[in-house]
Amino acid sequence: QITLKESGPTLVKPTQTLTLTCTFSGFSLSTSGVGVGWIRQPPGKALEWLAVIYWNDDKRYSPSLKSRLAITKDTSRNQVVLEMTSMDPLDSATYFCAHNIFTTTTSGFHHWGLGTLVTVSS
């Protein structure tokens, strides 16, 4: 059974750096084709893909946020960390991590964490 859980601060101040951790189980980030992605959703708005890191340490970022994001993995601890700098109230959202697969037969975000709500306010 695959599970993912997001953790991190619920409140950050403008200009601060947000650090979120995704702790997962039921799969290995050293398996070919496997990745973990981050997606956010402001209240009442649409999903926005942020970043993904793959088994081979390939990292991809949303072009509009690339300068502010950094994604890393700790395969031995089954964790993926996302950092977002220069936080702004517009970054207030529920942040999800999700299990991603990209192989010749499978793609997409197949398992999601419950999400963590982050509010940016002074």
Partner 1 sequence: QTVVTQEPSFSVSPGGSVTLTCGLNSGSVSTFYYPSWYQQTPGQAPRILIYNTNTRSSGVPDRFSGSILGNKAALTITGAQPYDESDYYCGLFMGSGIWVFGGGTKLTVL
Q: How far is the CB of 114 from partner 1 (least distance, A)?
A: 6
Distance separating alpha carbons of residues 52 and 72, to the nearest angstrom? 9
Would you say 13 or 66 has its CB closer to partner 1? 66
Distance separating alpha carbons of residues 68 and 52, to the nearest angstrom? 14
Under rule CB under 8 A, residue 113 binds partner 1? yes
- Decide if 8 contacts 116 (C-beta within 8 A): yes
Number of residues that bind partner 1 (CB under 8 A): 25
What is the β-pairing status of strands 11-12 and 116-120?
A: parallel
Applying CB under 8 A, which of residues 16, 19, 23, 49 lies at the interface with partner 1? 49
Under rule CB under 8 A, residue 48 binds partner 1? yes
Rg (CA), the chain: 14
Which range binds partner 1 by CB under 8 A, 13-21, 43-51, 74-82, 83-91?
43-51
Contacting partner 1 within 58-87 (CB under 8 A) = 58, 60-64
Q: How many CA atoms lie within 13 A of 72 on its CB side?
A: 9
Phi and psi for 78 in degrees, rounded to 5?
55, 50
Which range binds partner 1 by CB under 8 A, 21-29, 67-75, 84-92, 112-120?
112-120
Interface ranges with partner 1 (CB under 8 A): 37, 39, 46-49, 52, 58, 60-64, 96, 102, 105-110, 112-115
